[in-house]
Structure 1
């Protein structure tokens, strides 16, 4: 059975009751939500996007809730060589020893909010539980939230691989 489609009703991040409801539904505190929002929006200013002019900022919250990592998109003249903000933020977390991520937030300069690309969805899958919230903010600070399983149904994850070691003959 496929997970239900994501709820894409835009909600203003300034609406305290709706933010509180979002936090309760996704196991976040309002302080964590606010910090994810602040960090992903701030990360946009560090984007290197001279070709597309499409700034993206991302922030991730580690499973223990004590660490936040942010990143921005980095383009290259050879377009496929660029790196998305989500993968930059996750890469920073992973290289600092945080392999379990509780929440991902993404901010762009467009409306409505943009979701992570397919490659980023699979990358997020490596480090997040399928129930993890992906919070997407638009240029006006409105947001949408989807669980990873809604953005990447029928996904392939690390648990599908055989354990390391010798393979049976």
Structure 2
């Protein structure tokens, strides 16, 4: 019966935690973009601001998004879906990597389940690296991350294993 597992998304990327200073320049740029757009989040109800950035391929253009809350909560737009929707509206449907930046004490904030499925939609059969960092409140906008800040290096197939996708 193991043949039934053929076609399931299997992580191609080992999940690790790395220091910001050890990441390559393209990943740092993605995280800095997510941090910058996080400042524009509209979160008057939860005060939980999230920023996200996705690098489209083949152009390498970065598309960013922040969360936009609504008093009714259900129509709230998450940062990840905002960034991807912007990219898709500009004609991009393939992505090299993504980043999410939010703040919660002593824990990484990963995409919600709906956003994981939304990201998965555009992964196809290729795992997309996702980098998750914490935004520290008392840091300057010019230097939001220090070299020894931890970053979760994961992927959409790690975040949503054996995910639903039409094949």
Q: TM-score range by the shorter chain?
A: 0.7 to 0.9
2:118 to 96, 114, 123: 123
Cα distance in structure 1, aligned partners of 2:92 and 2:78: 19
Partner residue in 1 for 2:161: 153
The CA deviation at 1:149 is 1.0
Query: Who is 2:108 aligned against?
Result: 113
The residue number in structure 2 matching 1:102 is: 96
Residue of structure 1 equivalent to 2:142: none
Question: Higher helix proportion, which one?
Answer: 1
Q: Does 1:40 align with 2:34?
A: yes
Q: Which 5+ residue runs of structure 2 have no aligned equivalent?
A: 137-144
Paired residue total: 145
Name segments (4+ residues, structure 1) moved above 6 Å: none
Contact 2:15 2:158 survives alignment (8 Å)? no
With normalisation by structure 1, the TM-score equals 0.78
1:63 corresponds to which residue?
A: 57
Question: What is the TM-score with the length of structure 2 in the denominator?
Answer: 0.79
Structure 1: runs of 5 or more not aligned:
20-29, 160-169
Give the C-alpha shift of residue 63 in structure 1.
1.8
Q: Distance in 1 between matches of 2:30 and 2:47?
A: 23
Q: Which of residues 77, 87, 101 in structure 1 aligns to 2:81?
A: 87
SS state at 1:76 partner: coil
Distance 1:32 1:12 in 2: 15
Partner deviation per Cα, 1:134-165 (whole Å, 9 max, x = no partner)? 11011254210112111111112243xxxxxx
1:134 aligns with 2:141: no
Q: Tell me how far 1:58 sits from its aligned partner.
A: 0.1
Q: Which SS does the other structure have where 2:40 is aligned?
A: coil
